[in-house]
Structure 1
Amino acid sequence: MRPTGTKPITPKIEMDQIISNQTDVAMTLTKHILGDNNPCNVVLSPLSLQLVLGLVAAGSESESLKQLLSFLKAESTEELNSLASHLANHVFTGGSPPGELTLSLANGVWIDKSLSFQPFFSKVVDDVYKAGSDVVDFKNKASEAAEKVNLWIEKKTYGLIKDTISPDLFDDETRIVFANAIYFKGFWANKFDMLSTRNDDFYLLDDSSVHVPFMTSTTKYYCISAFDGFKVLELPYKRETDMRDISMYFFLPDAKDGLSTLVDKLASESGFLERHIPSEMERVGQLRIPKFKISFEFEASKALKELGVCAPFIRGRRDFDRMVNSVYDELLYVSGVFQESYIEVNESGTEACAYSRIPMCGGGPLPVTKIDFIADHPFLFLIRENKTGVVLFIGQVLNPEASWPRFSIDYNTIFGNR
């Protein structure tokens, strides 16, 4: 018998529509995260969060399931499972020779020795999300559990994120940790010449400026479009033998203080991103893009609650009973939703990674018009797999000189004193 709260996916539900829905979710979530962190540079992977939330949803029921499906714009957990399988088979599959792109995804689950997963949920974990799972002792061997999670994160992010989990994060109420990691490294199809990089002014939101290195190019034609109030530039990554088609997109508002308005448009209009992906090669006049490097971490519970996902965080509910077998009648709840991300953009290309975790307790002639693209004020960027339309990473650059903003999370405030 199929577990309650789910229904089979029907042929009417096309995968491109599912992905389009998830893109809308990504833009909505991004708006909230950027709004909460407006003074600083940001990079995040909405996809990483969506996948780990989808895994949690697969084991939920009642109000938690209803709210998770509503937020994720899905009709059923089968729909989310189909998306996870599709991504594994079409986006995060195959590989490229050295010098081309690397894109990988991994899911991980750590469960306390006092629990075991229900058979149906184990099948979802193993067969759909292909998550590596491990049994740990959070209460008595917290250091060992933290080491296992840290080693997994370091391996799956290719060493870019290390030692992020402290044993203090685990206590006698920690029961399960779900995690997802995404890594990307790509080289530009047309690399920038390092000798042409020059320092110039980047204008900040407070009307001041900083002198930062800008990459420039003598390439005459780019896939670029000018819209009402902003421009969008595509920079594709090299893929001689790889079937995947991945590009970075820069959304540059015309006004130096126009980023927040652009983000609002991106999040408020369904399908806005798809309608503003450039498709024609245009002649470019000046092209200047700053080099930048960002490391960012955040806790997403506040944003998720504002977007209607509240029940999974409430203690004492039985919304996750069907996920596990427990001799102690555990009442599981989500105690936090965390992500840490990194990106570096330079003359050669891009390297980016993110990990998310959810702990649970208890053709034609080319035009001659030239378009300048001078990214000398705050802008939005995203990395997208073009064949599927999946957004892998998204963020904002407010000050390229502020390369390493890091934010400590007050876990006592989040978890409370238990």
Structure 2
Amino acid sequence: MYLVQAEEVKHLVNSWVEKETCGLIKNILNSVERSTQLILANALYFKGEWSSPFDAFLTRNYDFYLLNSSSIQVPFMTSNKDQYISVFDGFKVLELPYQQARNQSWEKRLSFSMYIFLPDAIDGLPALVERAGSEPGFLDRYVPSRRVEVGEFRIPKFKFEYNIEAREALQSLGLVSLFGPSGGLGEMVSNSFPLFVSRIVHKSFIEVDEKGTEAAAATVFCTAPGSSCIPRVKVVIDFVADHPFLFVIRENATGMVEFIGHVLNPSVHA
């Protein structure tokens, strides 16, 4: 299908992704193989303002501790307002709600939040990620239920872009058949050639600052022919995200996860 149109198709896909992500993700495809029969692409763009924005005047540099035990100075945001925080065994969770937005197709308001899962130990992120991935319902179970008074409260600003060729990672997780002649994609086209996925390219971008969050993600599939409970008492909780943590952006009514990732070094932008 793309024997003589590889460059044209690459430009078409890249232009579509760039438009759908408001310019945040560019050139997701570096090339298109001439044997490519089908390209499946999706893109997601999110921009949300905090329901309680941070005061940029209060932002200060503090130490952020890396997994290798060294530290760097990065800008931290802070606030003296009550926050949605819960404390669990080995980690804390902070919910930062975004201003509600109306979905025109659903005719209802959507409620998004960013959740920061902060391990107690400076090097506790790998164990926390493993637990989140292996424990069913983790993201639904460990969420704050109410606002609490905060003592020391700081979270870092961060911005990064990430891209990956996801084929090997998915195969290591057991998703093998999709990448072989028996991938089951033949019904998507009218010809008799069996189709399988030859490449999966994913690229994402996120920026978190005092005003809110801007994020985008895009994935391209290229196919080829085959051959806690907290007592209701007044408590003051510290939440200082000065070491690697997990973050999630999701819609609260449906539980749908829009973005998930971790921050290892807030000073690394790409």
- Fold agreement, TM-score > 0.5: yes
1:226 corresponds to which of 87, 100, 105? 87
**Separation (CA, whole Å) in 2 of partners of 1:293 and 1:198:** 17
Query: SS at the partner of 2:29?
Result: coil
Q: Which residue of 2 aligns with 1:254?
A: 120
2:19 corresponds to which of 155, 160, 182? 155
CA deviation vs aligned residue, 1:337-393 (integer Å, no higher than 9, x gap): 12100000000000000000110011xx97421000000000010101000001110
**Separation (CA, whole Å) in 1 of partners of 2:193 and 2:101:** 52
1:146 corresponds to which of 2, 5, 10? 10
Q: Which residue of 1 aligns with 2:98?
A: 237
CA deviation vs aligned residue, 1:77-113 (integer Å, no higher than 9, x gap): xxxxxxxxxxxxxxxxxxxxxxxxxxxxxxxxxxx3x
Segments of 5+ residues of structure 1 without an aligned counterpart are 1-111, 113-137, 405-418
Cα displacement (A) at 1:218: 1.8
Within 5 Å, give how 1:8-407 maps onto structure 2: 112=1, 138-166=2-30, 168-171=31-34, 173-219=35-81, 221-239=82-100, 243-315=109-181, 317=182, 319-326=184-191, 329-362=192-225, 367-404=233-270
Query: SS at the partner of 1:325?
Result: coil
**Separation (CA, whole Å) in 2 of partners of 1:177 and 1:225:** 43
Higher alpha-carbon deviation: 235-244 or 182-191: 235-244
**What amino acid is the match of 1:234?**
E
Q: C-alpha root-mean-square deviation of aligned residues, in Å? A: 1.6
Q: 1:305 to 1:318 in 2, by over 3 A?
A: closer
Cα displacement (A) at 1:222: 1.2
Q: 1:241 to 1:336 in 2, by over 3 A?
A: closer
CA deviation vs aligned residue, 1:159-216 (integer Å, no higher than 9, x gap): 11112323x3231x10000011010000000000111000000001111100000001
**Separation (CA, whole Å) in 2 of partners of 1:231 and 1:318:** 42
Query: SS at the partner of 2:74?
Result: strand
Q: 1:318 to 1:387 in 2, by over 3 A?
A: closer
> Is the contact made by 1:253 and 1:259 (CA closer than 8 Å) also made in structure 2?
yes
Q: 1:339 to 1:318 in 2, by over 3 A?
A: closer
Q: Which residue of 2 aligns with 1:118?
A: none
Q: 1:340 to 1:241 in 2, by over 3 A?
A: closer
Segments of 5+ residues of structure 2 without an aligned counterpart are 104-108, 226-230
Q: 1:160 to 1:278 in 2, by over 3 A?
A: same
**Separation (CA, whole Å) in 1 of partners of 2:101 and 2:203:** 31
**What amino acid is the match of 2:200?**
V
**Separation (CA, whole Å) in 2 of partners of 1:187 and 1:157:** 17
- The alignment's TM-score, normalised by the length of structure 1, stands at 0.60
- The alignment's TM-score, normalised by the length of structure 2, stands at 0.92
Query: SS at the partner of 2:73?
Result: strand
